[in-house]
Amino acid sequence: MKKILVCIGTRPNLIKITKLEECFNKYPHLEFRLLHTGQHYDYNMNEVFFEQLGIKRPDKIFKLEGGSQIQVIAEIQTKAEAYMLEYKPDLVVVPGDVNSTFACALAANRNGIKVAHLESGLRSFDRRMPEEINRILTDDLSDLFFVTEPSGLKHLREEGKSEESIKYVGNTMIDSLVKFSETFEASDILDRIGVEAGNYFTFTFHRPGNVDNQESLADLVDVIVGISANRKVVFPIHPRTKKNLEQFGLDQKLNSKDIIFTQPLGYIDFMKLVKESKAVITDSGGIQEETTFQQVPCLTIRPNTERPVTVDEGSNTMMSLDKEAILSKVAEIENGTYKVGVIPKYWDGNASDRIVAAIDEYLRD
């Protein structure tokens, strides 16, 4: 019996591992345990996933004391090391690029345990982002690399990773979209907020560069007002963004029946909202992938992306925070001249199957 420990710490991590349990169940000689580091843990972000989506509940959940990023990383490392020494896994799998990803990879590596990185090779080349540092360090600690898109292959090869350790498997986040498509479809979120499918834009903004600066936030407000002249705008608002709109006195400009604010939405409702949008305007990372798979136009207001396949092949466009340019691109979406993206290779709902098959082969060697 070979033991595999999968370590998660945030909601995006959970979305990436929803299908792993059923895949591991096809290999009775592989034991799968799930560790939740407690980096982000509350009822709405986690328990609802387990209850509504039937995701495997963690075998172990850490309770963290909190503090600075360094304190949290150190605490996760210490607790993860103790658990790994107790469980003695043959392989530790770490998804994504959050602090838990790096902390668990380091704990495993320092104790001679092999590490597999899920979503390996992604690079924004912006070292101001903590996630970028986590990606680079995690890949340097890893032995097996699971890649979601062509850029990941390129970067890992350029960094000298061995070809036999690189596995192009596809995107496990898409596995969740396929697996739970009927659940998303059953959501009544559109009725609850009073919008029609295909007749609204979805906005999500939370990055400090966009919402902490008054001038930048004012430009975003002007974009929303401009779009709302022709379409409804649905804005699940992040607490940081809401606070700054009020602080800068910009919230009153958004007081319109065609601009619909909601609390941050759960995964099921949000995926329904995105799928039925005319387009999405965001500064998120994962939404770039979800809109590409659903072939919904997406304008991402960021200077860079670690997911270039969503631009090269998919429905995503990277843009600076230039309200005139954004509204010009919105006009393309409205008149039907915006690009038609394709779904990238291996984004087919079977990435988790390929991952577990590769793990089985790796541990047999």
What pLDDT does residue 195 have?
98
State the number of CA atoms in the 13 A half-sphere of 9 facing the CB: 26
User: Angle at the Cα of 104 (from 22 to 205), degrees rounded to 5?
Assistant: 80
Among 196, 197, 258, 252, smallest CA distance to 228 is for: 258
Q: Provide the residue-wise pLDDT of the chain in tens; the chain has 365 residues.
A: 999 999 999 888 888 999 999 999 999 999 999 999 998 766 555 666 777 777 888 999 999 988 899 999 999 999 999 999 999 999 999 999 999 999 999 999 999 999 999 999 999 999 988 999 999 999 999 999 999 999 999 999 999 999 999 999 999 999 999 999 999 999 999 999 999 999 999 999 988 888 999 999 999 999 999 999 999 999 999 988 999 999 999 999 999 999 999 998 888 999 999 999 999 999 988 899 999 999 999 999 999 999 999 999 999 999 999 999 999 999 999 999 999 899 999 999 999 999 999 999 999 97
Active site residue 206: yes
**CA pair distance 40, 9, nearest whole angstrom:** 6
Predicted pLDDT at 337: 97
Instruction: Tell me what pLDDT residue 51 has.
Output: 76
Distance CA(44)–CA(275), nearest Å, equals 21
pLDDT of residue 254: 94
Distances (CA, A) of 311 to 5, 27, 89, 304, 343: 33, 37, 38, 11, 11
Q: Which domains does the chain have, with CATH numbers?
A: 2-170+347-364 (3.40.50.2000), 182-335 (3.40.50.2000)
The residue written with tokens 């995105």 in the block is 274
CA–CA distance, 353 with 26 (Å, rounded to integer): 9
Predicted pLDDT at 296: 98
pLDDT for 343 equals 98
Of 125, 60, 72, 63, give the one whose Cα is nearest residue 98.
72
- 63 in Cβ contact with 35 (< 8 Å): no
Residues 6+ apart with CB under 8 A from 54: none
* Separation CA 235–CA 233 (nearest Å): 6
**pLDDT, tens only, 137-159:** 999 999 999 999 999 999 999 99
The angle, 0 to 180 degrees and rounded to 10, between the axes of the packed helices 286-294 and 172-179 is: 50
Q: What is the DSSP code (8-state) at residue 47?
A: I
Q: So what's the pLDDT on residue 148?
A: 98
Catalytic pick from 36, 40, 117, 206?
A: 206
Classify strands 298-301 and 316-319 as parallel, antiparallel or unpaired: parallel
Contacts of 128 (CB under 8 A, 6+ apart): none
3 state DSSP class of 88: coil
The structure tokens 């972000």 sit at: 45
Token representation of residue 335? 């008149």
